[in-house]
Amino acid sequence: MRELVFALEFRGSAGPVPGVDGRRRARTSATSQVLRTLLRAGDVQATVEPTGEGVAILESEVLSTGEGTFVESGTISYGDAGRVAFRTVGQGVTGASAIEGLRHGAVIWEVMRGEGRLAGAQGLITSNFTVGRDGQVTDNHFVRLFLPAYLGGGPP
């Protein structure tokens, strides 16, 4: 097995599923990017810099499980590399943020399976997100996947 660790910032929207209480759908995307953090004398500076082609797309369904808790499942396509399917570990949490009208939350997803060059993938994805009144989502992912050694290194 080999380890693949990366971070991406996704943007998109989430909204209710018509006719189904407590269920929402989300669709977000992220381009190839560099997330940069600089620690300087008494300050933290962070930027997200687009770097080229390649697009990742997340599609999911979210089910409310109580006040401020939820479970989620879906897929993330990582451009030509392939796709992973995920589901929530335990429950995600969400609530009001320090900015009026902006909700903040977090969830951990377990990778259930992979396709394409991500076949055999195992691992966890952490999602730390905000949702505005208009349903606009900013979702930061930190991903740690374990892949069969032959992927990316030639045939098995």
According to CATH, the topology of domain 2-147 is AOC barrel-like (2.40.480)
| Cα 151 from chain centre | 22
pLDDT score of 154 more than 70: no
Q: What is the pTM of this model?
A: 0.91
Contact status, residue 132 vs residue 11, Cβ threshold 8 Å? no
Please report the DSSP string for 88-146 in residue order.
ESS-EEEEE-SSTT-EEEEEEEEEEEEEETTTT-EEEEEEEEEE-TT-EEEEEEEEEEE
pLDDT score of 155 more than 70: no
pLDDT tens digits for 36-94? 999 999 999 999 999 988 999 999 999 999 999 999 999 999 999 999 999 999 999 99
Supply 156's token pair: 């098995």
pLDDT score of 156 more than 90: no
pLDDT tens digits for 115-124? 999 999 999 9
